[in-house]
Amino acid sequence: MDLSKHPIAEQWFLQNEWQPYDFQVKTWEAIGKGYSGLLNAPTGFGKTYAIWFGVLQEYFKKRKSGIHCLWITPLRALSKEIHMATTRVSDKLGLDYDIGLRSGDTSTKERAAQKRKMPHALITTPESMHLMLAAKGYNDTFKNLQFVIVDEWHELMGTKRGVQVELALSRLKAINPQLKIWGISATIGNLEEAREVLLGSYGGKSTMIRTNLEKKTEIETIIPEQIEKYPWGGHLGIKMLDEVLPIIHNSQSTLLFTNTRSQCEIWYQKLLEREPDLAGAMAIHHSALSEETRLWVENALHEGILKAVVCTSSLDLGVDFRPVDTVVQIGSPKGVARFMQRAGRSGHRPGAVSKIYFLPTHSLEIVEGSALRHAIAHKEIEQRIPYIRSFDVLIQYLVTLAVSDGFRADDIYAEVIQTHCFSSISREEFGWCLAFITEGGKMLDAYDEFHKVVVEGGVYKVTSRKVAMRHRLSIGTIVSDSMMQVKYLGGGRIGSIEEWFLSRLNPGDAFWFTGKNLELVRIKDMTAFVKKSVKDKGAFPSWQGGRMPLSSQLSATIRQKLDDYGSGKKVDVEISSLTQLFEEQKLRSHLPHSSELLIEKIKSRDGYHVFIYPFEGRNVHEGMAALFAWRIAQIKPMTFSIAMNDYGFELLSDQEIPIEEALGNALFDSATMSADIYASVNITEMAKRKFRDIATISGLVFNGFPGKAVKTRHVQASSQLFFSVFEDHEQNNLLLQEAYDEVMTFQMEEVRMRRALERMETQDVIIKELKQFSPFCFPILTERFREKFSNETFEDRVKKMLAQLDKEGSRKS
């Protein structure tokens, strides 16, 4: 291979006696020719060096002063790894090229030193990058910046942190139009779009470099000997503990991925109980643990002194742990990409095989093992949907620029519309954002006292030190939940849990935390007082991971697998193990073919139930349930309680549900879908929830200075209050609109829902009246948290509930 044009790389590879891969050489060439681009390569094949030697080579061509390269990663742990890898090159080859780290951890002293003499390259996060834009004189700092590398772009793109990256790039590109942008991404369903989003419309040469190197993945589903015919939702898979122990023993080091923190806690406890010898050789890792503990676990994994780690998505990303040779996924991974990523945490060297065990937590989930294998083999991997028109992030960004050197409106407008996210915003909409930060939206009268950003000589700037300080502290788009302390009645501290979870519990309810079953006694002053529960069941907090919807790739494959069984085709071991459950479903109800849609009806003590099974993931089901509830309620005023899982959903009402009539009235009509969704009450509730993050990112809700919470108490209000106030007084508020748009795109998955409805319109509807609950509806019935829908008036509903209370009261007395 001719490496004469890449002498630094040549020297390094020669020294290490390595051979570069084709994709590495291709990347060096592209960078040498002045391209920007996206590099798609599996982990463990040297993608860092594929970019790095290109960057180094360019530097030594010109040797300009100041910072030369910014390397952005989504994770501090990853930043550290990149820092080590790149510093090693400079040290071993004796290159005059310093690499610095900048993150939330970087000390003030180090920052000051960096400011005096910037390193040649800085490894940082999207948030720290924006903080640098909030510092005076940033223009000068970045004037010779030649490269921005965005690592793990697939992770950032589908988040508002991705939007932060886009905005920062638009500014840096304006400071130095010669700037080159490179992204690194794992395989996703929309790589081409990923490149377009990252590179914006700045022009210049760009390319995509892909490699055909492939990581081999071996999937094995752990099938229980006894298959339950009535699968409960919310199971933890603990029954399969004994199947997992030999896997741990036969491996060098095992990662056990769970979907929720509480599940993680419980698995850890139960493993220890069953096998006390594991103490010291097993650890737990999730985001509620302190950073210190997490780092200790990560180091121990590196050194190979841990036999097993029970973890959550907290270990999805980041540093490679070479000793790890086995991964166990407990419960549905919900998507193909996530499953592959987790599988990839084992066998982390070129050519090694990734071994992953899939452990279903309830019997229906066994199907997913077969579906995952199919999807990976056929490369059916999910897309990442980029955010567009995120006005909250734009508003935060504008204040950031106002805090440092100030900005002129026309310049910044011209820059931001070159990003993918804001390419469609009008000058009027941009003007609205400016009015929001200078006048606080619509002014009531001339005496208005709104004060944030001021305009002096056409320059937008922040003059108040207080405003500036508060803004710097709230830069970022990751909105963490408000946490509540959990204490025993006697005063002993147990830890902290998200307020939203605790506030949904009633006193007397039991829940799992730190592996213990606790009973909520009362909530007072942001503290939840609890005692040990004597019950053997508790609520399983449905954390983020638990609420993740099944992806459309995976759900389509599941429908296919059911059909294969029904039509007597040859099936995987997973599917054939479910014979009994499927036969029971046939007996009590019906097992739908892919050309059929199953609807089940049953009356119970709780009321009238209707179950519908589109197999489209819980998000689509949530939206569809609201839509159907609304359409049915057009026939007569009704109130519904809604529950769903990834396979179907339930409408429950105190009145009989006229489902047949609704079917006759085009229940599945996709043409009027959007209008009907907007008309349904639930979207407001959903938007209100989305608005929580938006209110924080746009600076309406301030979470307080660390350790100085009291000072800001008088300017604190809940995002819900802002939401209602805007609804009442400022309907054209773009942040409000954004909340609704986010609901449609991410919560309702509008596009996917429309496709699902179109499919359902062509399916044969099979309605079954059940005498007893079927295996399919059982897990839905046992879902803990429910949504509500009603078009009865608020007062009517209250009257009904009161009448119900009266009835119960008279029965008691």
Partner 1 sequence: MTIDIGGEELVLLYQKALYKPDEKLLVIADVHLGKATHFRKHGIAIPAQAQQGDYDNLRSILNEVQPEKVYFLGDLFHSDFNGDWHLFCDLIKEYPNIQFTLVKGNHDLINKQMFEEVCIAVEDIIEDGPLVYTHAPLKEVPEGKVNIVGHIHPGVVLSGMGRQSVKLPCFYREEQLFILPAFGVLTGLYSMDVRQANAIYLVLSDSVRRL
Interface with partner 1 (CB under 8 A): 436-437, 440-445, 447-452, 464, 467, 470, 503, 507-508, 522, 606-607, 639-641, 652-654, 699-700, 702, 714-715, 717-718, 720-722, 725-726, 728-730, 786, 788, 790, 794-795, 797-798, 800-802, 804-805
Q: If we measure between CA atoms, which residue out of 35, 34, 32 comes closest to residue 7?
A: 32
Burial of 17 (0-12, 13-18, 19+ CB in 10 A): exposed
Encoding tokens for residue 707?
A: 């350790």
Q: How far is the CB of 241 from partner 1 (least distance, A)?
A: 33
**Residue 487 is encoded by which pair of tokens?**
């204490």
CB-based contacts of 128, cutoff 8 Å, min separation 6: 102, 103, 104, 106
The least distance separating partner 1 from the CB of residue 328, rounded to whole angstroms, comes to: 35
| CA gap 670, 677 in Å, rounded | 11
Closer residue to partner 1 (CB): 424 or 804: 804
Q: Decide whether 478 or 803 has the Cβ nearer to partner 1.
A: 803
493 versus 522: smaller Cβ distance to partner 1: 522
Q: Choose between 123 and 393: whose C-beta lies nearer to partner 1.
A: 393
Q: Which two tokens stand for residue 527?
A: 């503290």
Q: Shortest approach of partner 1 to residue 261 CB, angstroms?
A: 24
Given the complex with partner 1, which of 22 and 448 has the nearer CB atom?
A: 448
Question: One-letter amino acid identity for 110?
Answer: E
The minimum distance between CB 168 and partner 1, in angstroms, equals 23
Cα separation values, 501 from 15, 544, 555, Å: 55, 11, 28
From CA 599, how far away is CA 596, in angstroms rounded?
10
- Backbone dihedral region for residue 203 (phi beyond 0: left; psi -120 to 50: alpha; all else: beta): left
Contact 175, 401 (CB under 8 A): no
- Provide the Cα torsion 334, 336, 337, 342; round to 10°: 80
User: Between residues 411 and 606, which has the closer beta carbon with respect to partner 1?
Assistant: 606
Measured from the CB atom, the residue of 672 and 804 that comes closer to partner 1 is 804
CB of 796 to partner 1, least distance (A): 11
Q: How far is the CB of 399 from partner 1 (least distance, A)?
A: 9
**Residue of 144, 169, 182, 192 whose CA lies nearest to 34:** 182
CB of 767: closest distance to partner 1 in angstroms? 21
Beta strands in 141-188 (DSSP E): 147-150, 180-185
Q: In what order do the strands lie in the sheet with 510-513?
A: 493-498, 483-488, 527-532, 516-524, 510-513
Min separation Cβ 233 and partner 1, Å: 15
Q: Among candidates 369, 351, 352, which has minimal Cα distance to 360?
A: 369
Give 376 or 610: the residue with its C-beta nearer to partner 1.
610
Closer to partner 1 by CB, 153 or 608: give it: 608
Shortest spacing between CB 607 and partner 1, in angstroms = 5
Query: Hey, what amino acid is at 458?
Result: G
Q: Helix 409-416 and helix 427-438: axis angle, to 10°? A: 130
Nearer to partner 1, 47 or 618 (CB): 618
Residue 535 or 797: the one with the smaller Cβ distance to partner 1 is 797
Give yes or no for a contact between 497 and 484, defined as CB atoms under 8 angstroms apart: yes
Which residue, among 600, 686, 673, 613, has the nearest Cα to 646 in the 3D structure? 613
Task: For residues 143 and 139, give the distance between their C-alpha atoms in angstroms, rounded to a whole number.
Answer: 6
**Among residues 425 and 437, whose Cβ is nearest to partner 1?**
437
- Residue closer to partner 1, measured from CB, 178 or 464: 464
Considering the complex, what minimum distance in angstroms separates the CB of residue 163 from partner 1? 20
In the complex, the smallest distance separating the C-beta of residue 612 from partner 1, rounded to whole angstroms, is 17
We find the least distance from the C-beta atom of residue 508 to partner 1, in angstroms, to be: 8
What minimum distance in Å lies between the beta carbon of 709 and partner 1?
Answer: 14
- Please, which residue, 671 or 803, has the CB nearer to partner 1? 803
Nearest to 252 by CA among 321, 311, 320: 321
Under a CB-based contact definition with an 8 Å cutoff, are residues 51 and 240 in contact? no
Burial category of 726 from C-beta neighbours within 10 Å (exposed 0-12, middle 13-18, buried 19 and up): buried
Q: In angstroms, what CA-CA distances link 211 with 13, 41, 208, 382, 445?
A: 19, 6, 10, 19, 62
Q: Which is nearer to partner 1, 13 or 723 (CB)?
A: 723
How many distinct helices (H) and strands (E) make up the chain? 33, 27
Residue 682 Cβ vs partner 1, minimum distance, rounded to whole Å: 13
The DSSP secondary structure of 375-412, one letter per residue, reads HHHTT-----PPP---HHHHHHHHHHHHHTT-EEHHHH
Asked whether the beta carbons of 791 and 681 are under 8 A apart, the reply is yes
Q: Could you tell me the smallest distance in angstroms from the CB atom of residue 795 to partner 1?
A: 6
| Closest to partner 1 by CB, 65 or 503 | 503
We find the least distance from the C-beta atom of residue 17 to partner 1, in angstroms, to be 60
Closer to partner 1 at the Cβ: 552 or 653?
Answer: 653
**Selection from 439, 369, 429, 434 nearest residue 408 by Cα:** 434
* Residue with Cβ nearer partner 1 (29 or 429): 429
Q: What is the rounded radius of gyration, in angstroms, for the C-alpha atoms of the chain?
A: 28
Tell me the closest approach of the beta carbon of residue 448 to partner 1, in angstroms. Answer: 6
Q: How far is the CB of 499 from partner 1 (least distance, A)?
A: 12
In which residue are the tokens 């044969």 written?
764
Sheet holding 353-359, edge to edge: 216-221, 353-359, 326-330, 254-257, 308-311, 282-285
Nearest CA to 634 out of 671, 664, 601 is that of 664
